[in-house]
Amino acid sequence: MRIPAVLLTVALVGVTPATAVVAGSPSAIGVAADTGTQQTCDFESLYDETIRSVVTIQVRTDGGGGLGSGFVYDESGRIVTNQHVVADAETVEVQFDRGQWRTAEVVGTDAYSDLAVLEVDDVPDYADPLAVESGHPETGQRVAALGSPLGLQGTITDGIVSGTNRSLPAGQEGGPQFTIPNTLQTTAAISPGNSGGPLVDCTGTVVGVNTAGAQGGENIGFAVPSTRVERVVPALIQNGSYTHSFLGISSRDVSPAVAEQAGLNVTSGVLVQQVISGSPADGAIQSGDVVLQVAGQPVASQEDLASALVRYRPGDTISMQILRDGERRTVEVTLGERPAPGETLGD
């Protein structure tokens, strides 16, 4: 599902007001068996065991500043947060759960996943790293969001994973716009200031990084999934950046109405509207093609296509099943490197 940008606010609270339009077992600490066959979170224990690893982030920029959240990622004093929390930061200060302040260095950022890594010296010994889930959470799974909404340090809100594979509009107001694919939707309240804080399951394992809430909607928030954290954060630590794959098309979903208008014999898939000259798709894919599969994975929508492509890196060659002139055929495309936001191919 593609989320309308007008409905979203970045979960970052400004020091001066500012908003922007916009990645276990029953013995575990937060799990308690109920009287039925399912289990429920023991949120009191979950909070006690995880909040010590959650931080408040204060950022100063030329335009003022803002507050966000983050969590301790490893034993080397690295902290994960959102890219939009530290974008254009001149100074970054981190406050731990018991009040200690540390100056942080920005190690790496990635706009396309809205992830960033900070590093601080002398992390308090009580602030242990949080484990990061390597798999995908299930829709309906209980979760909790931790952070500092509206600057209220040490806050927990509870809910469930209410959806997956959401395409989240991102980018600075008045600047280049893009989408973050395959994000999580949750009913756990995510408010300004929650940005960068962890979304955890009942064992205290991070399943997402909170990034945005919905204006005018109740119980709708979004988080970058832990699978993206697993891929992107190590590269940010090592290189300071992450390269994303790039296909080079503009497209729209195929619906019955689109299929009738375009004379197609399928009612799902992704209709290619334009192929960017010089892009990886140029020469392999044509305007009017319908993408049906990527590497054997069915593609019913632009969200499916984006979720499939995000698993690959620049230089990877993928097979794609397309519909062209009423016939299905397979083409191979070697993916390129996605230009930075606002840049065009060849800049």
Q: In which element (H, E) is residue 226 found?
A: helix 226-239
Helix H or strand E segment including 190: none
Using DSSP's 3-state secondary structure scheme, residue 54 falls into: strand
CB 264 within 8 A of CB 256: no
Phi-psi label, residue 39: left if phi above 0, alpha if psi -120 to 50, beta otherwise: beta
DSSP secondary structure of 134-187: SSPPPTT-EEEEEE-GGG-SSEEEEEEEEEEEEEEEES-TTS--EEEEEEEEES
Pairing mode, strands 91-95 and 142-147: unpaired
3-state secondary structure of 259: helix
Q: Active site residue: 69, 84, 251, 289, which one?
A: 84
- CA–CA dist 58, 93 (Å, integer): 5
From CA 141, how far away is CA 68, in angstroms rounded?
A: 25
Catalytic hit among 113, 191, 195, 251: 195
Please name which of 224, 221, 248 lies closest in space to residue 236, comparing C-alpha atoms: 224
Q: Which of 110, 114, 201, 289 is catalytic?
A: 114
For the chain, state the CA radius of gyration: 21
Q: Catalytic residue at 110?
A: no
Beta bridge partners of 327: 324
| Strand pairing category for 91-95 and 54-61 | antiparallel
Residues 65 and 58 sit within 8 Å (Cβ to Cβ) = yes
Active site residue 136: no
At 298, list the tokens.
Answer: 């069915």
Give bridge partners of residue 146 from the DSSP assignment.
156
Active site residues: 84, 114, 195
